[in-house]
Structure 1
Amino acid sequence: MSTASASSARQSLALIRVGLATLLFVHGIARVYHDAVTPFGAFLDNRGFPFGLGFAWAVTLLELFAAPLLAWGRWVAPIALVFAGVYACGIWLVHASSGWFVVGLGRNGMEYSVLIITCLLALAWAHRGR
């Protein structure tokens, strides 16, 4: 790969990394701002999770503190894998029952989450062993 191609690949990965990190961070900010952590915890409790509120705070804090680290290129592979797991759980708990499409032919489906997971896994792969 030429130097120019390698530079373009790094820049493209950085754009995806920062874009994803921004989306994940905003998700956490919105949950805190709209006082939605407790309802998220109650949802998890109702789905059989022990310590639902604790899990809700753990996910929220992950979004608030790990997303900036992801944006800055720190611990990209492990953070991306954890986020991929969180989004896979979101598909399992919420989105799969609504089908594939987020809008249009469906509502609240899993296509957006699948795209995020795919990008997170690609980042983890690109940053493995660094």
Structure 2
Amino acid sequence: MTHPPTSVSQGLIFIRCVLAVLLFIHGVARWQAGGVAPFGEFLAAQGFPLGLVIAWAITLYEILATPLLAWGRWVTPIALLFCVIYACGIWLVHAQEGWFVVGLGRNGVEYSVLILACLLGLAWAHRPQRARIFS
């Protein structure tokens, strides 16, 4: 028998779905705008081998993993891999632009840090529960 969702689980579902939509749009927009190849060239210029392959892998991951994230399947591993991807985005692009995305700055880390916090929170909330010896 399943229990009705609590307000906490409903809140996690809401965050999971909104985040999945945002990450999905990020991948689809890159693909639709022809941005995968320039993204690959950027990665190659940063010293990453197979920049185009990595760019396609990230783009496809954003498109294909997000429905699973929204659906609540494999949330922890999906969220943690997204954390790696977006942490690299902070390191490669946003950190040198400062904190703010708009207003007092442009293209900073602010939004990416929020995404990371949400992803880490989801990964933690959905982590596999182990038997507790000392409960």
* Shorter-chain TM-score above 0.5: yes
- Aligned partners of 1:77, 1:109: CA distance in 2, in Å? 26
| Separation in structure 1 between the aligned mates of residue 84 and residue 42 of structure 2, nearest angstrom | 18
What's the counterpart of residue 42 of structure 2? 43
Length-normalised TM-score, structure 1:
0.95
Aligned: 1:125 with 2:120: no
Deviations 1:30-67 (A, max 9, x none): 01110100000000000000000000001001001001
Runs of 4+ aligned structure 1 residues displaced above 3 Å come to: none
Q: Distance in 2 between matches of 1:40 and 1:110?
A: 18
The structure having more radius of gyration, on CA atoms, is 2
> 5 Å matches for 1:1-130?
7-129=6-128
- Could you tell me which runs of 5 or more consecutive residues in structure 1 were left unpaired when the two chains were aligned: none
Q: How many angstroms apart in 2 are the aligned matches of 1:30 and 1:129?
A: 33
Q: How many residues align?
A: 127
2:6 counterpart SS class: helix
Aligned CA RMSD, in angstroms, stands at 1.3
Distance 2:114 2:23 in 1: 13
Please report the TM-score for the alignment, with normalisation by the length of structure 2: 0.91
In structure 2, what residue type is equivalent to 1:9? V
Shift of 1:83: 0.4
For the residues of structure 2 that align with 1:119 and 1:28, how far apart are their CA atoms?
A: 18
Q: CA deviation at 1:114?
A: 0.2
- The structure carrying a bigger helix percent of its residues is 1
